[in-house]
Structure 1
Amino acid sequence: MSSHQNGRSRALRIAAMLSMLAGAAQAASVQAPAPRAADRPALEKQDIRAQLAPRRYTTIAAEIGAKISRIGVPEGASFRAGQTLVALDCSIQQAQLQKARAVLAAAEKTYAANKRLDELNSVGKVELQVSEAEVSKAKADVASTSVVLSKCVIPAPFAGRVAEQKAREQQYVQPGQPLLDILDDSVLELEFIVPSRWLAWLKPGYAFQVHIDETNKTYSAKVQRIGAKVDPVSQSVKLSAAISGRFPELIAGMSGRVALQPPSTQ
């Protein structure tokens, strides 16, 4: 057999082998197709981190410049609605109110005298009107000083606890300066973030379990609210839930794992 025939024979054998390998690969792909998304559960059980947060919380700030004479509730303590949280030293404002009231009393006497003289046609109309205006001005000064004086005592807007004390007694504070961080711990909510695609089955009222790390206990909870918008970058949405029942050991800031079980696909 010539060398030309031998080369042709080898080429035919190589072509046959490549054809067989290609056929085997195609057969394998037909026998074992890649799993499709529809063949897998759309969502699987996942653990989501959640944090306990108070439903109401705020920062109490000074509305006037004054020295703190007393902080009625220490850090961490509870208080009732309307209880005095901070009292400011307002001796100057008190003196200003007394002065405004004295000016008002004098203006009222002057106006009363001018009214009597007007009845006797012994006073000019302009003088009478000016004395009347002085009474109105003095009343406005009394009202304004009274409002300022009312800011010397800061009551609690709701029942709760002092989360953080930001100022000390005998410290002079400026208007707008934070004094206390307070929160309402009567209702603690769970806040957590889930994939936005879960909204297909995750609705308000959905019941689940949450394991709080600090107490090492598991509690029942229900979804209360769903965030108003979806984050388009992370494709996630914020949820708020409430733990069923009241547990004194739970406080704001604790965190844990939320176990959500999507419904199985049929």
Structure 2
Amino acid sequence: MVACRGRRMGLFKRDQSSSMIRGRFILVPALFLAVLVALSGSLAVAASAQILQDGHPRDDASNGGLPPSHPFQPSALRAESLRGQILPRNYTTLATELPARILQIRVPEGGQFKAGDVLIRLDCSLQQAQLQKARAARSAAEKIAAVNARLAEMKSMGNLEVATSVAEAAKARAEESLWDATVSKCLLVAPFSGRVAEQKAREHQYLQAGQPILDILDDSRLEVEFIAPSRWLAWIKPGLGFVLRGDETGHDHAAKVIRIGARVDSVSQSIKITGEFVGDTEGLLAGMSGRVILDVPAGAIPPPANPAVPLTP
């Protein structure tokens, strides 16, 4: 009996010891997990406070050496990339002002021309006939007016007849000028030097007045346009240099700002910026595009009006 009771007491002590050991293994991870939860909560509160203070999350590892209180971290020293497009400074569409048939297109699509060159010749047989008729009528009216003036000097004609003949001569001259101007529109002349971008009509095709024939452009002076945030107006000025990294060329092309748009788009809060290339533009064509790269000056961007709203570009 004594021996059995001793064995039972030993088993009870071993069970109690095992229970205490298991309790310790369960308690230690629970305490560790509670510490992690408390620590993460404090970090989240600190991050939220930093966002409310600076207007964006703090990133000390990439702040470019700026103090944490700077309103724009780290964008104040980074290069901003926008999409830009190459456009010619001068470009237009040549259209006929007369209903006529095309006799000849002298410069094909992609061809070059100089200012003053005849690009298109229209069939103006009817208009030329009308011009010849007007010239004959003008000549006859001037002769009648001259004869009547001499008769008036000899007291053989009254002043009313002389004045009427002079007015008829002036009317004939105006009619001749009208048809002369009409015939001059049968030849479409290049307003500037450049190239033919697109041919919209063919030879021997009949056109109505106002119908386009050729798209032409001046490829000697190319510009680049891009859309920038309107808040950049605080530091973007004419003369600011930037780089266009062409998608087609794969090279960087130096440029500078020459014009700033006259109106800000209130919906997108953006504005159009126009620049011109500095140096050689060989290999560049109108319509090419690429990335506009410019450096945002340190401290040039004004602090946000509402620090709680992030304004990073």
Cα distance, 1:102 vs structure 2: 0.9
Pick one of 62, 75, 78 that aligns with 2:96: 62
Q: 2:126 is matched with which residue? A: 92
Count residues in correspondence: 248
Structure 2 distance, partners of 1:25, 1:185, is 61
Structure 1 distance, partners of 2:44, 2:186, is 81
Cα distance, 1:187 vs structure 2: 0.9
Structure 2 distance, partners of 1:66, 1:26, is 81
Structure 1 distance, partners of 2:80, 2:152, is 87
1:46 pairs with 2:80:
yes
Pick one of 195, 199, 204 that aligns with 1:165: 199
1:234 pairs with 2:250:
no
Pick one of 156, 159, 176 that aligns with 1:125: 159
Cα distance, 1:42 vs structure 2: 5.1
User: What amino acid is the match of 1:216?
Assistant: G
1:26-49 CA distance string (max 9 Å, x none)? 865776642423442354432111
User: What amino acid is the match of 1:127?
Assistant: E
Q: 1:34 is matched with which residue? A: 50
Cα distance, 1:188 vs structure 2: 0.7
Q: 2:247 is matched with which residue? A: 213
Cα distance, 1:25 vs structure 2: 8.3
Larger radius of gyration: 2
Gaps of 5+ in 2: 1-34, 56-68, 301-313
| Greater shift in the superposed pair: 26-35 or 199-208 | 26-35
Question: Equivalent residue of 1:264, what SS?
Answer: coil
Gaps of 5+ in 1: 1-19
User: What amino acid is the match of 2:89?
Assistant: R
Structure 1 distance, partners of 2:176, 2:168, is 12
Structure 2 distance, partners of 1:81, 1:126, is 50
User: What amino acid is the match of 1:99?
Assistant: K
User: What amino acid is the match of 1:92?
Assistant: L
Structure 2 distance, partners of 1:148, 1:90, is 9
Q: 2:59 is matched with which residue? A: none
Closer/same/farther in 2, CA of residues 122 and 61 from structure 1, 3 Å limit: same
Pick one of 249, 259, 264 that aligns with 1:225: 259
1:134-174 CA distance string (max 9 Å, x none)? 11111111111111111111111111111111111111112
Structure 2 distance, partners of 1:99, 1:73, is 33
Structure 2 distance, partners of 1:135, 1:167, is 41
Cα distance, 1:214 vs structure 2: 0.7
Question: Equivalent residue of 1:103, what SS?
Answer: helix
Structure 1 distance, partners of 2:46, 2:217, is 63
User: What amino acid is the match of 2:74?
Assistant: P
Closer/same/farther in 2, CA of residues 130 and 49 from structure 1, 3 Å limit: same
Q: 2:287 is matched with which residue? A: 253
Structure 2 distance, partners of 1:265, 1:147, is 61
TM-score, L = length of structure 1: 0.85
RMSD: 2.4
Closer/same/farther in 2, CA of residues 29 and 109 from structure 1, 3 Å limit: closer
| Greater shift in the superposed pair: 110-119 or 157-166 | 110-119
Pick one of 108, 113, 116 that aligns with 1:79: 113
